[in-house]
Amino acid sequence: MPMSPRTLRALLPALSLAALLIAIAIVQPRAMSYFGLNLMLNLALPIAFATMAQLCVITVNDLDLSIGSFVSFCACVGATWLAESPAFGVLVLLGCILVYAAVGALIHLRNLPSIVVTLGMSFVWLGCSVLLLPTPGGTAPDWLVSIVKLKTPVVPFAILASAVLALAVHGALMGSAYGAVLRGSGGNPQAIARAGWSQLTAKVALYALAGLFGVLAGLTLVGMTTSADANIALRYTLLSIAGVILGGGEFVGGRVSPIGAVLGALTLALAGSLLSFLRISPDWQIGAQGAILIVVLALRALVNRAEARAA
């Protein structure tokens, strides 16, 4: 029985990841061991958290251009204040989440373009990072390092944590009544308003969740690297957008897939390893990753066209 276009579209993120793993297994078979996967996916978890933060914002038809600098600031806080004064560090990180929620409220109340506001916030977060940690350094708390570098049996910790993240967000956003309201605020805001739900509350909630996932991305990143600097996660902005789109998300309509987004993040994390195994110069790797993204999006466009014809 042939696979329907809708089913193929849903499976495309998993198929893309599987194709990448097969390519890695052919080029470098030893990389498919526990140690190899653990090494390749060393930084996959913070990318997955950043991608989930971007997914929350895209759910309401917005785009966050500040997530990279925000993750960098959280990493700097984790390597300085959180290590030296844990209580103050936690308060600062909670304040960061509140700032994210306030940005969402500002965008909604003043009807401002999210791209412009978040672009401006990216410079604010970057400036705060430079003030806090002018040069690379700091030290990650021992408890944080022990958590993110946990050695789990059979399956690397990054894969298990990513799976838990995907399933938890999928259950909350796709399988709950309020999750449907949050998605509807991006897909059909007029219907949500007529049903008596607050658009402002929905946007604030999703921006607050984005801030929470951004904090978790920064903490896991500093736990992996054991230090930080102001520019440590700037590339996460584009990686997070690419992860959501690779995972089947759309820029409009509130169409997102938490499981697909995590699979997209893992795909991007592994793409760099494959390009290294192929001995492609680091100067060309960003372009090669972009080419991979274009190929996957082209395949999805073909599947969408086939789905439209079938309908």
pLDDT score at 73: 98
Out of 83-87, 177-181, 248-252, which region has the weakest mean confidence (pLDDT)? 248-252
Task: Read off the tokens for 311.
Answer: 């309908």
Q: 287 or 225: which carries more pLDDT confidence?
A: 225
User: Which ranges constitute the DSSP H helices of the chain?
Assistant: 5-27, 34-40, 44-59, 67-79, 81-84, 86-109, 114-132, 142-148, 157-174, 177-187, 189-194, 199-225, 236-246, 258-277, 282-310
Q: Which residues pair with 38 in a beta bridge?
A: none
Give Cβ neighbours of residue 3 (< 8 Å, ≥ 6 apart). Answer: 11
pLDDT score at 237: 93
CA 126 to chain centre: 19
Across the chain, what does the average pLDDT equal? Answer: 90
Q: How far apart (Å, rounded) are the C-alpha atoms in residues 200 and 16?
A: 36
Q: Is the pLDDT of residue 189 over 90?
A: no
Average pLDDT over residues 230-247: 91
Give Cβ neighbours of residue 279 (< 8 Å, ≥ 6 apart). Answer: none
Q: Which residues pair with 137 in a beta bridge?
A: 228
Q: Is the pLDDT of residue 282 over 80?
A: no
Q: Is the pLDDT of residue 5 over 70?
A: no
pLDDT score at 11: 82
Out of 5-14, 196-205, 274-283, which region has the weakest mean confidence (pLDDT)? 5-14
- Contact criterion met (CB below 8 Å) for 132 and 231: no
How long, in residues, is the chain? 311
| Confidence band of 301 (pLDDT split at 50, 70, 90) | confident
Q: How far apart (Å, rounded) are the C-alpha atoms in residues 221 and 236?
A: 11
Q: How far apart (Å, rounded) are the C-alpha atoms in residues 55 and 71?
A: 15
Q: How far apart (Å, rounded) are the C-alpha atoms in residues 150 and 44?
A: 14
Q: How far apart (Å, rounded) are the C-alpha atoms in residues 174 and 74?
A: 28
Q: Which residues pair with 228 in a beta bridge?
A: 137
Q: How far apart (Å, rounded) are the C-alpha atoms in residues 182 and 201?
A: 9
Cα-trace Rg, the chain? 19
* Backbone phi, psi, residue 95, to 5°: -65, -35
Average pLDDT over residues 174-182: 90
| Confidence band of 10 (pLDDT split at 50, 70, 90) | confident
Q: How far apart (Å, rounded) are the C-alpha atoms in residues 219 and 97?
A: 14
pLDDT score at 3: 62
Q: Is the pLDDT of residue 1 over 60?
A: no
Distance between terminal CA atoms of the chain? 18
Task: Read off the tokens for 7.
Answer: 């089913």
Task: Read off the tokens for 256.
Answer: 């997102």
Question: In 3-state terms, what secondary structure has residue 29?
Answer: helix
Q: Which residues pair with 233 in a beta bridge?
A: none
